[in-house]
Amino acid sequence: MSATGIPERVGHLPPRKGEEGSSEAGYNFAYLDEGTKRMIRRAILKAIAVPGYQVPFASREMPMPYGWGTGGVQVTAAILGRADVLKVIDQGADDTTNAVSIRRFFARTSGVATTTRTTEATIIQTRHRIPETPLSEGQTLVYQVPIPEPLRFLEPRETETRQLHALAEYGAMHVKLYEDISRHGHIATTYAYPVEVAGRYVMDPSPTPKFDNPKMDDCPALQLFGAGRERRIYAVPPYTRVRSLDFEDHPFRVQEFTAPCALCGARGHYLDEVVTDDSGGRMYVCSDTDICETRVAEATR
Amino acid sequence: MLAAGFTDPVHDAQGTFRAVMDALARPGLSRPLAPGLAPPAPLTPELAAVALTLTDADTPVWLDAALADVPEVAAYLRFHTGAPLTDDPAQAAFALIRDPARCPPLDRFAQGTPAYPDTATTLVLALDAITPGEGLRLTGPGIKGAVRVTLTPLPEGFVAQCAGNRVGFPLGVDLILTAPGRVAGLPRSTAVTEG
């Protein structure tokens, strides 16, 4: 890993030069100004009070392009404190570009401790995965969300989708899932699989694989969702019912993998396909790098 | 002389916010809140901390009679937050309530609209005590099973008011409950019953 300039993925990362416990000169703690944090904090509180409802907020320009997690970054910046330990994952991995750059961003602008260990983190910002290690009560999971509106591809007008949510009129979503069944024989939606939160709002869980949907239900950790370009924040409080939409005769099912992880041998984890040569060779490995490395280290000890 | 605000505005506000966020995310479980403020009486340090953390020029604030009667309170809040004060509870983004026993009915505050339920008022109450156990039974999002908490004092018919507040979900007000050194949350999603 060090050959690519990416830090080793072991426990607490050493602070880089100029990052030791202090924030970048000229910037406020965690980059955002206090007025912006107040506005985002108010939106987060309302999001928690109305689980699954998308609260509009005045999303700011961030020093990274839309689509790179500006919503999640703003939510993290608004909640982050000096005592926090931050973990950032991108598709389950701590060492991919998006995760590394966001983790460095907060290390530089806030000086907080960062980690790759799920169990050590108090705040985990994620792009499209939920860690395999069960989350605990003291943790907050911050999702980066590209398109927060689950009904957007069924109804492009925001004025209309607002009304549909107000009336809890989610028939169109069920029709969409039914069309999957009539076309493919099963519900073919595999990511961004719609969920109903606390028996009221239908919510987009962000483009996580549906494999992760059951982890959102009755989760001990607080889950916050930030969409920067679309300017929405929503939340699922701890111990909240999150139900994946389905039908009695076509119940919700997650992906299954026939082979175990090629590195750690785990079953029941979400696996990534890795192409190993140009003649069709491939292997399947855990998408969650932290749990995979922990298991490999334990096995070799 | 005007009383001081947060000693460390960035981190004191962050600490207060995290306590309030955790409180609303886990209704009925109180968190420590030690803001280190000395606002003009009868404004309590906890009420002041929540106001300094969450209110600004974008959020009209309503004060109950106990606070509105003391001009120093309004001067303190205006100076430190810049928030406009309003006489109309239905216009308030935040309501600060020093005397919970005489809190106006919850349905007199902004309830939000069906399309934008987030425009409802957040009430911040200064209670004498938040005691775990007995008293009220809370269930709903954020609560594992059920939680019991005793709140003193409370407005008359509080349980019935909470039931009314929840019937119109997603409309309704959210409550931040403070007591000396503590903060707890009671969002509109929580079902409140007696005993």
pLDDT along chain B (195 residues), means of 10: 94 98 97 94 97 98 97 97 97 98 97 98 98 95 97 95 96 98 98 91
Q: What is the pLDDT of residues B6-22, one digit of tens each?
A: 999 999 999 999 999 99
Q: What is the pLDDT of residues A132-184, one digit of tens each?
A: 999 999 999 999 999 999 999 999 999 999 999 999 999 999 999 999 999 99
Query: Does B17 sit within 8 Å of A41, measured CB to CB?
Result: yes
pLDDT of residue A1: 37
pLDDT of residue A22: 55
Ramachandran assignment for B82, one of left (phi > 0), alpha (psi -120 to 50 degrees), beta (any other): left
Cα(A166)–Cα(B171) distance, integer angstroms: 10
B contact set with A (CB within 8 A) = 9-11, 13-15, 17-18, 20-22, 24-26, 53-56, 58-59, 93, 113-118, 120, 122, 140-144, 169-170, 174, 187-189
Residue whose C-alpha is closest to residue A36's, from B161, B17, B156: B17
Backbone angles phi, psi at A66, to 5 degrees: -55, 145
C-alpha distances in angstroms, B8 versus A79, A301, B14, B76, B156? 16, 47, 10, 17, 38
Nearest to A49 among B18, B93, B189 (CB): B189
Instruction: Label residue A25 by pLDDT band (50, 70, 90).
Output: confident
Cα(A113)–Cα(A109) distance, integer angstroms: 12
CA dihedral A150, A152, A158, A162 (to 10 degrees): -30
Token pair belonging to B79: 């100076």
DSSP A152: T
Q: What is the pLDDT of residues A180-228, one digit of tens each?
A: 999 999 999 999 999 999 999 999 999 999 999 999 999 999 999 999 9
Q: Over chain B, what is the mean pLDDT?
A: 97
Give the residue-averaged pLDDT of A41-61: 98
- Count of CB atoms within 10 A of residue B184's CB? 29
Nearest to A200 among B10, B118, B169 (CB): B169
Q: How many residues does chain A have?
A: 301
User: Has residue A44 got a pLDDT over 50?
Assistant: yes
Give the residue-averaged pLDDT of A110-132: 97
Backbone angles phi, psi at B116, to 5 degrees: -135, 70
Using an 8 Å CB-CB cutoff, list chain B residues near A138.
Answer: none
Instruction: Label residue A5 by pLDDT band (50, 70, 90).
Output: very low
Active site residue A219: no
In chain A, which ranges are continuous DSSP H helix? Answer: 34-49, 70-79, 97-110, 158-166, 171-184, 213-216, 289-300
User: Has residue A11 got a pLDDT over 90?
Assistant: no
pLDDT of residue A23: 63
DSSP A191: B
Using an 8 Å CB-CB cutoff, list chain A residues near B22.
Answer: 222
Give every CB contact of residue A197 below 8 A, 6+ residues apart in sequence: A51, A52, A203, A236, A240, A241, A242
Q: What is the pLDDT of residues A269-296, one digit of tens each?
A: 999 999 999 999 999 999 999 999 999 9
Identify the closest residue of chain A to B52 by CA–CA distance.
Answer: A38
User: Has residue A24 got a pLDDT over 90?
Assistant: no
Nearest to A49 among B24, B116, B144 (CB): B24
Give the residue-averaged pLDDT of A254-270: 95
Q: Is residue B159 classed as helix, strand or coil in its secondary structure? A: helix
The pTM score is 0.94
Q: Is residue A252 classed as helix, strand or coil in its secondary structure? A: coil
Give me the sign of the Cα torsion angle A206, A212, A215, A217: positive
In Å, how far from its chain's centre is CA B35?
15
Indicate if ipTM > 0.90.
yes
Please give the angle made by the CA atoms of A70, A73 and A74, to the nearest 5 degrees.
85
Active site residue A286: yes
Asked, as a colleague might, if the bond just before B170 is cis with ω within 30 of 0, I would say: yes
Give the distance from residue A45's alpha carbon to the nearest chain B alpha carbon, in angstroms: 6
In this prediction, what percent of chain A has a pLDDT beyond 70? 92
Helices (H) and strands (E) in chain B, counts: 5, 10
Domains, chain B, in order of start with CATH, read 9-193 (3.40.50.11310)
pLDDT of residue A4: 43
The DSSP bridge pattern shows strands A282-286 and A271-275 to be antiparallel
- Count of CB atoms within 10 A of residue B74's CB? 17
User: Has residue A18 got a pLDDT over 50?
Assistant: no
Residue A180 contacts residue A186 (beta carbons within 8 Å): yes
- Order the strands of the B191-194 sheet from edge to edge: B147-152, B129-139, B191-194
When mean pLDDT is compared across A16-30, A82-96, B126-140, the lowest value belongs to A16-30
User: Has residue A17 got a pLDDT over 60?
Assistant: no
* AA identity, residue B57: A
Q: Is residue B106 classed as helix, strand or coil in its secondary structure? A: helix
Give the distance from residue A7's alpha carbon to the nearest chain B alpha carbon, in angstroms: 29
Question: Which residue, among B6, B10, B174, would best test binding to A if mutated, counting the most A CBs under 10 Å from its CB?
Answer: B10
